[in-house]
Structure 1
Amino acid sequence: MEPVRLTTERLVLRPFTSADVLAVHAACQDPDIPRYTGVPSPYTPEDARVFVEEACPRDWAEDSTYTFGVFTRDGERLAGSMSLVRLAQLRAPERQAELGYWTAKEQRGRGYTVEAAHEVIRWAFEDLGVERLEWYAEAGNEASRGVALKAGFRMEGTLRSKIPYNGTRRDAWIGSLLPSDLGMPTRAPYLPFPERG
């Protein structure tokens, strides 16, 4: 897919460019980003360059991951990164993807990641035909969970031993979001298992 640009009231979501390498490198010096994401640690300028100039364009072209740089409309300051992952599952009958994100430390607490998530979710459901979005994070990552909840995800439980980290395996929280949760139509009807009271 050709990369797209999305906008919100306060943000521009666009593919990273070479001009963003220094900002991405600086943001990923925050130990929480490699701690809770797949970002290498230590994160070098070369890691940032490869991510921005090679991995992101290749992933868009291969329809494997759609990564947006999240920038403020006022001054184009880097607020974070947001991706739709596992896009191979967008093909019928799965039509599902995973939402992943990180937020630059100095931009946290302003609601930027939730705002960006709402727009990427809208795009995923309306334009890409996604029928199920998943989110997961290491159990205990309250900040990521808070964003997911504010974006509308419903928590589904804990995946045991899901995340390999530093020679260990960690549990993960998982949540999902369906178009019907937001009052949006879906191509395939959803037949939930009847709950017993």
Structure 2
Amino acid sequence: MTPVNIRLREWRDNDAPAVLHAFQSPDLRHQSPWPVVTLQDAVGWIASWAGAGHAFAVTVDGQVAGNVAVAGIDAHDNGWVSYWVVPAFRGRGVATAATGELARWAFAERGLYRLELGHRTTNPASCRVATKAGFRPEGIERGKLCYEGVRYDVERHARLATDR
């Protein structure tokens, strides 16, 4: 089910309370390179995207529901995609719609050719988002991530500008 009124927009400093709230979810804590536990941390997270890539607030009916981003853009017109959605908006197609919209933007507006993403193999919901957004699986990267001393395999997906 695709949500109505989904929109991608630039992050704003006044979105900091929504960012802080999002990172209170245990499964989102690893989506930031540092702990986001104060409003100042959340403002810093928003500011950290300047020059690092293109991050967009995902909104549903004007309310912040998540984030989609493309970063790590290289000289070969490749970029790395990431996404997250707060628990209250999960299961409604928000991540899939936002990731698909980000890909269309990255190909048309940014001129990228290849977009990559990865998810832990223990996260089937993220795998569904990737495949439904047109990212094809390309293989398993063994032991790539380590959270709290536990190693996780990652499945890599990619979408090309020429994919239909």
TM norm. shorter chain > 0.5: yes
Asked whether the equivalents of residues 33 and 39 of structure 1 are also in contact (C-alpha less than 8 Å), the reply is no
Q: 2-side partners of 1:166 and 1:40: how far apart?
A: 14
More RCO (CA 8 Å, sep 6+): 2
Paired position in structure 2 for 1:67: 55
TM-score by length of 2: 0.90
- Structure 2: stretches of 5+ with no match in the other structure: none
Amino acid at match of 2:43: R
Q: 2-side partners of 1:129 and 1:106: how far apart?
A: 33
- The runs of at least 4 consecutive aligned structure 1 residues that moved more than 4 Å come to none
Asked whether the equivalents of residues 29 and 43 of structure 1 are also in contact (C-alpha less than 8 Å), the reply is yes
Amino acid at match of 1:11: I
Q: 2-side partners of 1:151 and 1:42: how far apart?
A: 28
Alignment RMSD (CA, Å):
1.8
SS of 1:140's equivalent in the other structure is coil
Paired position in structure 1 for 2:92: 110
Paired position in structure 1 for 2:9: 14
SS of 1:181's equivalent in the other structure is coil
Paired position in structure 2 for 1:80: 66
TM-superposition CA deviations, 1:128-184 (whole Å, max 9, x none) = 2211110101221111111001001111111012113223432111111112222xx
Q: 2-side partners of 1:28 and 1:39: how far apart?
A: 12
TM-score by length of 1: 0.76
Q: 2-side partners of 1:158 and 1:118: how far apart?
A: 22
Paired position in structure 2 for 1:119: 101
TM-superposition CA deviations, 1:40-94 (whole Å, max 9, x none) = 4463323212112x212x2xxx2x311101111x2x111101100102x1x2xx1
The alignment covers a number of residue pairs equal to 162
Amino acid at match of 1:78: V
In terms of mean alpha carbon deviation, does 155-164 or 39-48 score higher? Answer: 39-48
- Structure 1: stretches of 5+ with no match in the other structure: 1-7, 183-197
TM-superposition CA deviations, 1:18-53 (whole Å, max 9, x none) = 211111111111111125x3354463323212112x
Amino acid at match of 1:49: V
Asked if 1:49 is matched to 2:38, the reply is no
SS of 2:110's equivalent in the other structure is coil
Matches within 5 A, 1:22-37: 22-35=17-30, 37=31
Q: How many percent of aligned residue pairs carry the same amino acid?
A: 33
Which one has the largest radius of gyration?
Answer: 1
Paired position in structure 2 for 1:146: 128
